[in-house]
């Protein structure tokens, strides 16, 4: 194994640890929201500092590899894909942190009817699954699995669109819970964005392994 190979293995290990941290963040938001557990919400927020730290370390590591080894071909694509994946994972962590902040700000447990009708807990589970799927695709360099992320993202988009009129009706019927309704709607938007980040990562996996640029290619014309 060359020195460059060793650096690439280490880089892959670093981003895998970061990825698992983000997955854990999203899992904890599910538990915190369901149980109105502010301590768990605080754990999610504290974890975001570690995620941000990994982002900086990985960025510097990529820069050092470019400067010292001048990678080419698949090695170059790998490092470029890591840079973009790193940024998307950090943003996904930001989304989980944002949801945790809504839980901290809420002055009482969330209305179970609101949670059920908006299917937000289903969305959190789907967001966790899509993060795990992209990680598995990345580790195994499995572009077939990476391509399933696009359909999974559409499911999150569907739940997001579906929630809009549901929240609007809830706010009309329960004006005393206006704050809760707005928090839940904002959380739903953040979960939809986690799907977008994973879609971007899936494109990077395909770019790295197959040397194909799929950005915008799978989008349906409006």
Instruction: Read off the CATH number of the domain in which 11 is found.
Output: 1.20.58.220
pLDDT class of 48 with cuts at 50, 70, 90: very high
- Residue 204 in any domain: the answer is yes
Give the list of residues 6+ apart from residue 11 with CB closer than 8 angstroms, or none. Answer: 58, 61, 62, 65, 79, 82
Identify the pLDDT of residue 213: 82
- Residue 77 in any domain: the answer is yes
pLDDT class of 214 with cuts at 50, 70, 90: confident
Q: Which domain holds residue 79?
A: 3-210
How many whole angstroms separate alpha carbon 90 and alpha carbon 76?
22
- Residue 89 in any domain: the answer is yes
- Residue 87 in any domain: the answer is yes
| Matching residue, tokens 């839980």 | 103
- Residue 97 in any domain: the answer is yes
CA distance between the termini of the chain: 49
The total number of residues written for the chain in this structure: 222
**40-51 mean pLDDT:** 96
How many whole angstroms separate alpha carbon 143 and alpha carbon 202?
8
DSSP H helices, the chain, are 3-35, 38-69, 73-105, 112-118, 120-140, 143-173, 178-210
Q: Phi and psi for 78 in degrees, rounded to 5?
A: -60, -50
To the nearest whole percent, how much of the chain has pLDDT over 70? 96
How many whole angstroms separate alpha carbon 116 and alpha carbon 15?
34
Identify the pLDDT of residue 58: 98
Instruction: Report the number of distinct structural domains present in the chain.
Output: 1
CB 79 within 8 A of CB 61: no
Asked whether the predicted pLDDT for residue 220 surpasses 70, the reply is no
Report field, pTM of the whole predicted structure over 0.85: yes
CB 110 within 8 A of CB 40: no
How many whole angstroms separate alpha carbon 100 and alpha carbon 36?
10
Asked whether the predicted pLDDT for residue 218 surpasses 70, the reply is no
Joined together, the tokens standing for residue 161 give: 């669109």
- Residue 217 in any domain: the answer is no
CB 58 within 8 A of CB 78: no
How many whole angstroms separate alpha carbon 124 and alpha carbon 18?
19
pLDDT class of 222 with cuts at 50, 70, 90: very low
Identify the pLDDT of residue 219: 54
């Amino acid at each position: 194994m060359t020195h460059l190979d060793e650096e690439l293995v280490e880089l892959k290990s670093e981003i895998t640890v970061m990825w698992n941290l983000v997955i854990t963040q999203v899992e904890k938001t599910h538990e915190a929201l369901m149980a109105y557990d502010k301590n768990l919400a605080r754990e999610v927020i504290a974890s975001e500092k570690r995620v941000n730290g990994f982002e900086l370390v990985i960025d510097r590591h990529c820069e050092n590899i470019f400067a010292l080894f001048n990678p080419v071909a698949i090695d170059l694509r790998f490092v470029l894909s890591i840079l973009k994946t790193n940024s998307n994972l950090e943003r996904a962590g930001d989304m989980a942190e944002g949801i945790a902040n809504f839980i901290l700000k809420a002055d009482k447990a969330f209305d179970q009817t609101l949670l059920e009708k908006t299917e937000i807990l289903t969305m959190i589970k789907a967001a966790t699954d899509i993060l795990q799927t992209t990680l598995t695709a990345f580790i195994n360099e499995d572009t077939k699995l990476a391509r399933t992320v696009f359909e999974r993202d559409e499911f999150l988009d569907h739940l997001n669109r579906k929630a809009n009129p549901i929240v609007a009706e809830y706010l009309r019927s329960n004006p005393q819970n206006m704050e809760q309704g707005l928090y839940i709607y904002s959380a739903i938007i953040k979960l939809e964005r986690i799907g977008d980040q994973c879609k971007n990562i899936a494109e990077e996996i395909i770019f790295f392994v197959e040397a194909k640029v799929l950005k915008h290619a799978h989008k349906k014309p409006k």
